[in-house]
Amino acid sequence: MVNPKTRTWPSIPSFSLSSTGSHSKVSSTHSDDSFFGVQEYSCHHPDAIKTTFHRDSTVLSSRKEFTSKYLEEEMLGQGGFSQVYAGDCWSDFTPVAIKHIPKKKVQFVRVNCHGNVYNEILEVVLMKQAAGLLCDGSFENPAVIGLMDIFDLESEVIIVMERLTDTVDGYDYYTQKRRIPEDQVKVIFKQIVNISLTMHKNGIFHRDLKLNNILVDSSKGTPEIRVIDFGCGDFVENEPFKNFCGTPAFSPPEVLRGETYMAEPTTVWQIGAMMYIICARTKFDTLVYMKRGKKVLKNVSKQCNDFLNKCLALNPKNRATLEDLRLHPWLKKTAKEVVNAFESNFAESQTPQKNSNRREERIF
C-alpha cells in the first residue's frame, strides 16, 4: 500500500483534532495553511506496499455548478453533522445521494502527491482509499459506495455519491425480514468480513460499522452488500486511539472502560454487534452486553455461535482478527451444512442439561 506522509516536510506543524484518532493530523477549517499537518497515513498490513498517492479528484467550488449538474430531492437521512438527500444528475437522470456537511464540521487532511502537498477533505480521502482508488498497490474494494463529485463551498461541503435504487440499509432489511435464515446471515457477513479486511489492508478504519451504514441489494436474489458513511473514519494506526468517534452503543468494551483502542479489534466488535442484532433478533448495546455476559443463541448453529463469540470477546486480546473471521469454519460451510448444523444445535438445546458452574466472560 502507501505512505503518503512526506518526511521531506518536517517544518510543517501539525494540528491535532481530538475527535479523530490519536495520530490523525487534521484540521476542521481552512483558516491558515500553516496549521495543516502532513497526515501520517500508512497501511500496516503485511501485504502492504509503500508506493505513490494519486490525486485524481477535482473539487468544485461553485454552488451554481452544483445546481446545474444535480437536482436535489427528498431527505434520505441525517446524522449529528450532516444531511443526505436523494437526487438525480440532470444530464442523464442517474440517481445520486447528496451529502451536506457544514464547513465547521469538515475535517481536512494534507496528503503528498508526487512531491506536492494538498489539502483534501478527510472523508473523501478515506472513502476513495477504502475502495482502493488512490494509491498504487491498493486492493480493489468495489463494495465501498462510489464517489461522483465534491463541492467545497463557502459554508459547506457537498459530497455526491452513487445511489442504488434497489437497496435498503441493513437495519431496514433486518426489520422487513425480521427472521433471516442462517445461510443468508452467513452470505451477508462473509461479504462484510471481506469488505472490512480489504479496507484495513488499504489502511482505512471505518470506525462506525453498523446496520445503518450497510446497504443491502437483494434484487438479484442473493444479498449484496455496500458500505457507506466514512464520516467517523480514520487511518489504520499501529498505535492505539484515545478518542472514540462513532455510535456509543457499538463502541468496544475497552472504550467504555476508559482505555485506548485499536482499529482491528474495534471493527471485529462492530461486526459482532451487527450480527448479534440479526441472530438474537434484539437491540444491541455494548454496556448491556458487558453486564450480561455472552450467551448461547439456540436458533443458530454452534459454529455460528462460536463466530459470534469470537467477535464479541470482551478482552480485545481475545477477540478474533479479521483474517481469523475470514477463515472461520462457519463462513466455509455450504447452505445445506448450515441447515444441518442448526437442526443439530436445536435438537441438543431441547435436551435437559444438568446445572453447571459455567463461567461467563464479565466486564473486567
Query: Residue 338, Cβ neighbours under 10 Å: how many?
Result: 22
Paired strand residues for 110: 38, 119
Q: Give the per-residue pLDDT at 275.
A: 97
Measured distance CA(168)–CA(181) in Å, rounded:
18
- Counting the structural domains of the chain, the total is 1
Per the domain annotation, does 329 fall within a domain? Answer: yes
Q: Is 277 a member of any domain?
A: yes
C-alpha cell recorded at residue 205: 478504519
| Host domain of residue 330 | 167-349
pLDDT along the chain (364 residues), means of 10: 32 28 41 34 41 60 92 91 95 96 93 79 95 91 96 95 92 91 96 98 97 93 94 94 95 98 98 97 95 89 97 98 98 64 51 42 30
**Residues forming beta bridges with residue 71, ordered by sequence position:** 88
Q: What is the value of pTM for the model shown?
A: 0.80
Task: Report the DSSP beta bridge partners of residue 151.
Answer: 60, 158
Q: Whole-angstrom Cα distance, residue 332 to residue 190?
A: 9
Q: How far apart are CA 250 and CA 270, in angstroms?
A: 6
pLDDT recorded at residue 79: 80
The answer to the question of residue 259 being in a domain is yes
**Residue 228, CB-side half-sphere exposure with 13 Å CA sphere:** 23
CATH number at residue 263: 1.10.510.10
Provide the pLDDT for residue 349. 47
Q: Compute the distance between CA of residue 165 and CA of residue 30 in angstroms, rounded to an integer.
A: 35
Q: What is the DSSP string of 173-184?
A: HHHHHSS--HHH
Distance separating alpha carbons of residues 146 and 302, to the nearest angstrom: 37
Assigned domain for 233 exists: yes
Give domain status of residue 324, yes or no: yes
Angle at CA 166, nearest 5°, toward 164 and 167?
Answer: 75
Distance CA 48, CA 139 (A): 9
What pLDDT shows up at residue 337?
A: 56
Specify whether the CB–CB gap between 97 and 160 falls below 8 A: yes
Show Cβ contacts of residue 216 under 8 Å, excluding neighbours closer than 6 positions: 167, 168, 169, 170, 173, 188, 223, 224, 225
- Residue 64, C-beta contacts closer than 8 angstroms, at least 6 positions apart: none
Helix (H) or strand (E) holding 157: strand 156-162
Domain assignment of residue 96, yes or no: no
Note whether residue 134 is domain-resident. Answer: no
Q: Does 104 show up as a binding residue in the annotation?
A: yes
Edge-first strand order for the sheet with 95-102 is 59-60, 147-152, 156-162, 95-102, 83-89, 70-78
In a domain, 174, yes or no: yes
The whole-angstrom distance between residue 111's C-alpha and the CA centroid of its chain comes to: 22
